[in-house]
Amino acid sequence: MINLTQHPATPDQILAGVVNLPAAIQQQLTTLLTFNEIPSIVTLFGRAKQISRLAVESGEKTAMVGGAGYLMPHLERSLAMEGIRPFHAFSVRISEESVDSSGTVIKTNVFKHVGFVG
């Protein structure tokens, strides 16, 4: 499963079979996933097609997608047209507490990858 998100796959996702893109291609993907102004429908279709091509070139038949909600339907369709099945990562929030050396309780939320939806 090729990682088509702006973020590196977590160790749990890598164990589940997610593959990160090489750094140069990841930079290209990040540019395609970033919008600095309201995109036109033509821009959305174009970027979805370009991202799908990156997936095709990876040789993978599944992709982990995520990012701008207004791009995802276009990207999912474009991937499907290329024979690549898109999936979204699913995680649960786990609250953890620890006590530091001064006795202060520190609460953190950890997002634990548990699977894919798609």
For residue range 1-52, what is the model confidence (pLDDT) as tens digits?
Answer: 999 999 999 999 999 999 999 999 999 999 999 999 999 999 999 999 999 9
Give pLDDT, residue 6: 95
With contact defined as beta carbons under 8 Å apart, do 76 and 94 qualify?
no
With contact defined as beta carbons under 8 Å apart, do 65 and 4 qualify?
yes
- Six token digits for residue 29: 């993907």
Supply the pTM of this predicted model. Answer: 0.84
- Six token digits for residue 61: 């038949």
Q: What is the pLDDT of residues 59-113, one digit of tens each?
A: 999 999 999 999 999 999 999 999 999 999 999 989 989 999 999 999 998 888 9
Helix (H) or strand (E) holding 111: strand 105-117
Task: Determine the distance from the C-alpha atom of residue 9 to the mean position of all C-alpha atoms in its chain, rounded to a whole number.
Answer: 8
